[in-house]
Structure formats: structure tokens, C-alpha cells
Amino acid sequence: MRNRKVTFVEIVSDPELKVREAEVSKAVNELYPGCGPVKLYRTGDGQVGFELRVAITAGDKKRLDQLYSAVMKVLGQKRGRPAGVKTIQTKLRLPEPVYEDLKKAADESHQSMSNIVAECLVARLRAPRRKRAAVS
């Protein structure tokens, strides 16, 4: 038996996408006549997704890509990494116990180790600095 990967996605309310469902359904029905309505949603991290019922044969990736492109064209979205703060790859030399703690925290929070490090650094570096009392 094959192990399957399960990913849970938090869906958030987005009235703007709800309004555009009819427009997207029309575009998709031009490619796949009679496929029915398209349901749009936004995930908790801001990505846009859609749900529809359509039969696609195995190996027909080209039509699937056309379908995806049609939906995203109507929505004005682009494929690839979402817009945001540009990331820069860095190398850290951490003591092994710190690395193990970081890895454990990332696993427990279902985030990458990079995200955990970034959150900690932002909290540390942007915290108001305390003034030191003058010693006499």
C-alpha cells in the first residue's frame, strides 16, 4: 500500500473571490463544456485555489495547464512564488543543541526552520531597546 501525504489547508472567507466565481466558471466552461461551476477559495497564507469537477485523462497535463492558466488569467494571478518580501539564502553555524531545538520547534509548528529563525530575529531586533541606567 502506498503512503499518501496529507496536507491540511485553512480556508478563509474572501468575498471578492466569491463574486468572481461566475466569471471564472464561464472561462472554464469554454475549455470544458458542461463541467459545472468553479468554486474559488483563499488559503490562510493568501494563496488562491479552485475546485471543480472535470474528467482529465492520465498524461493530459497540457489541458490541465490550460485549465489552470484560464482560471488564473481571469483572476489576474500568476503561477510561482507569491509576491512578498524577497528572501536571501544564508548559512548559519549553530551549536548542535540549538539546531535540535530549532528543528523540533519547526516540526511542532509545521513551519520551516527558516521561518522560525526569521520570527525570532525579527522579535529580537525590532524590540524596543532598554536604556541603561547611568552608574555613578
pLDDT tens, residue by residue, 89-132: 888 899 999 999 999 998 888 888 988 998 899 888 888 877 76
The whole-number pLDDT of residue 93 equals 92
Round the average pLDDT of the chain to a whole number and report it. 84
Does residue 136 carry a pLDDT above 70? no
Can you tell me the distance from the alpha carbon of 70 to that of 85, in angstroms, rounded to the nearest whole number? 27
C-alpha cell at 122: 525579527
Q: Residue 122 CA to chain centroid, in angstroms?
A: 21
If residue 49 lies in a helix (H) or strand (E), which one and from where to where?
strand 48-51
